[in-house]
């Protein structure tokens, strides 16, 4: 993956496939500590301890569970190669938490990339699910909730191209504001 | 700056167009983008964005864009499938943002599939 934002898109698909009704995505930068945290937390069907181990193995795959494959191993590798960490915790019937910490000053740090495009894709392509996206840079925070947007849209689908454009532009501008106000 | 007021205006415009489309009674075209690990790694997100950007720009209302998982031909990702009522499915492979814009203009707007980007032409 050329950007971490693509890993976020990929990992969030697992949450959607697991039937998560509310998925939280966090991207938090700490400029003093030179760390970046990416977290994806869902309330989907969850996994057994054995499945948690298996999905971290790139050579494990089953035909029936398509969500198992390269996604988690690639994300884990991207974090660990910077000297950061990766944790995957899950409970059947409760949900799954994926958390990766990156050292941003590592030469092996993959650029974060276009998170706004990732979030707008996730939110607008999954009308029936809800998402909360939190972007944090040191003390400053921006929160985007799909439920708030749906209230305004009043039945107009999020997948309408003009709506999708707005969502992406809004998230990207609000993120820029965070940087401007540092 | 994009504002919530602007979204409200977009909503009202879209509502009017959706009502007009429903009154028309025509089934729309469905465009599906493969968004599994293979598709994403190969560049599916910019392809999806190019499709929606171009459709929004041209104000095309009879086309919906959705995503799917792995289509099963990972080496040909990004893959875009076009389902048009009463016609055979068209599968575009190894797509890019530029190719996607061309597919919107020539196929989705003007009704002429871009044969050179289809799986049949690429795998020949």
Instruction: Give the model's confidence band at A64: pLDDT under 50 very low, under 70 low, under 90 confident, else very high.
Output: low
B69 CB neighbours in chain A (<8 A) are 13, 17, 66
The answer as to whether B19 is a domain residue is no
By the CB < 8 Å criterion, does A125 face chain B? yes
Instruction: Give the model's confidence band at B2: pLDDT under 50 very low, under 70 low, under 90 confident, else very high.
Output: confident
Q: How far apart are the first and last CA of chain B?
A: 48
The answer as to whether B10 is a domain residue is no
Three-state secondary structure call for residue A127 = coil
Cβ-nearest to B14 among A74, A114, A160? A160
The answer as to whether B94 is a domain residue is yes
How confident is the model at residue A68, as a pLDDT? 52
* Token code pair at residue A125: 């392509």
The answer as to whether B91 is a domain residue is yes
User: B46-102: per-residue pLDDT in tens?
Assistant: 999 999 999 989 888 788 899 998 888 999 999 999 999 999 999 999 999 999 999
By the CB < 8 Å criterion, does B41 face chain A? yes
Comparing A26-35, A51-60, B45-54, B63-72, the range with the smallest average pLDDT is A51-60
- Say yes or no for a CB contact (<8 Å) between A165 and B70: no
* Average confidence (pLDDT) over A50-64: 77
The answer as to whether B62 is a domain residue is yes
The answer as to whether B102 is a domain residue is yes
A63 has pLDDT over 50: no
B124 has pLDDT over 80: no
Give the Cβ contact number of residue A42 at 10 Å. 27
Domain A4-180 falls under CATH 3.40.1000.10: no
Cβ-nearest to B65 among A9, A159, A166? A159
| Residue A39 · residue A132 · CB < 8 Å | no
* Average confidence (pLDDT) over A55-68: 65
The answer as to whether B16 is a domain residue is no
How far apart, in whole angstroms, are the C-alpha atoms of residue B92 and residue B70?
14
Instruction: Give the model's confidence band at A61: pLDDT under 50 very low, under 70 low, under 90 confident, else very high.
Output: low
Comparing A113-127, B7-21, B98-112, the range with the smallest average pLDDT is B7-21
User: How many domains are there within chain B?
Assistant: 1
Torsional class of B95: left (φ above 0), alpha (ψ -120 to 50), beta (otherwise): beta
What is the model's pTM? 0.90
From the list A35, A11, A164, the residue with the least C-alpha distance to A90 is A11
* Token code pair at residue A103: 């050292």
DSSP for B68-115 reads ES--S-GGG-S-EEEE-TTS--EEE-S--HHHHHHHIIIIIIT----G
By the CB < 8 Å criterion, does A77 face chain B? no
From the list A146, A136, A167, the residue with the least C-alpha distance to A22 is A146
Domain boundaries, given as residue ranges, for chain A: 4-180
The answer as to whether B47 is a domain residue is yes
How confident is the model at residue B87, as a pLDDT? 92
| Residue A104 · residue A34 · CB < 8 Å | yes
How far apart, in whole angstroms, are the C-alpha atoms of residue A5 and residue B44?
13
Q: What CATH number should be reported for the domain holding residue B32?
A: 3.40.30.10
- CB-side neighbour CA atoms (13 Å) of B6: 11
Q: Which residues contact B3 (CB under 8 A, 6 or more apart)?
A: none
* Average confidence (pLDDT) over A106-135: 95
Cβ-nearest to B10 among A6, A17, A166? A166
Q: Which domain holds residue B101?
A: 26-122
User: A132-162: per-residue pLDDT in tens?
Assistant: 999 999 989 999 999 999 999 998 999 988 8
B29 CB neighbours in chain A (<8 A) are none
B 71-110: CB under 8 A from A: none
From the list B98, B97, B99, the residue with the least C-alpha distance to B121 is B99
ipTM, 2 decimals? 0.86
* Average confidence (pLDDT) over A113-132: 95
């Amino acid at each position: 993956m050329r950007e971490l934002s693509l890993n976020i898109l990929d990992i969030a698909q697992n949450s959607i496939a697991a039937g998560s009704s509310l998925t939280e995505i966090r991207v938090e930068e700490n400029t003093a500590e030179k760390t970046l945290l990416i977290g994806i937390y869902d309330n989907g069907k969850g996994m057994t301890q054995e499945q948690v181990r298996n999905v971290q193995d790139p050579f494990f795959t089953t035909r029936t569970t398509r969500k198992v494959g390269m996604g988690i191993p690639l994300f884990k590798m991207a974090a660990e190669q910077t000297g950061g960490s990766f944790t995957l915790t899950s409970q059947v019937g409760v949900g799954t938490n994926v958390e990766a910490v990156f050292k941003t000053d590592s030469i092996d740090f993959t650029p974060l990339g276009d998170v706004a495009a990732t979030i707008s894709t996730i939110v607008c392509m999954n009308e029936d699910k809800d998402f909360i996206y939190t972007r944090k840079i040191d003390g400053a925070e921006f929160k985007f909730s799909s439920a708030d947007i749906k209230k305004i849209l009043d039945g107009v689908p999020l997948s309408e191209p003009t709506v999708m454009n707005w969502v992406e532009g809004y998230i990207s501008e609000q993120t820029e504001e965070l940087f401007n106000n540092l | 700056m994009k504002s919530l007021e602007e979204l409200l205006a977009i909503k009202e415009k879209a509502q009017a167009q959706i009502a007009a489309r429903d009154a028309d009674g025509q089934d729309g075209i469905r465009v599906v983008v493969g968004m599994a690990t293979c598709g994403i790694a190969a560049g599916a997100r910019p392809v999806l964005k190019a499709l929606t950007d171009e459709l929004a720009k041209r104000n095309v209302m009879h086309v919906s864009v959705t995503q799917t998982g792995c289509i099963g031909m990972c080496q040909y990702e990004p893959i875009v499938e076009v389902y048009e009522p009463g016609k055979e499915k068209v599968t575009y492979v190894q797509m890019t943002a530029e190719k996607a814009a061309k597919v919107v203009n020539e196929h989705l707007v003007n009704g002429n599939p871009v044969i050179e980007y289809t799986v049949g032409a690429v795998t020949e």
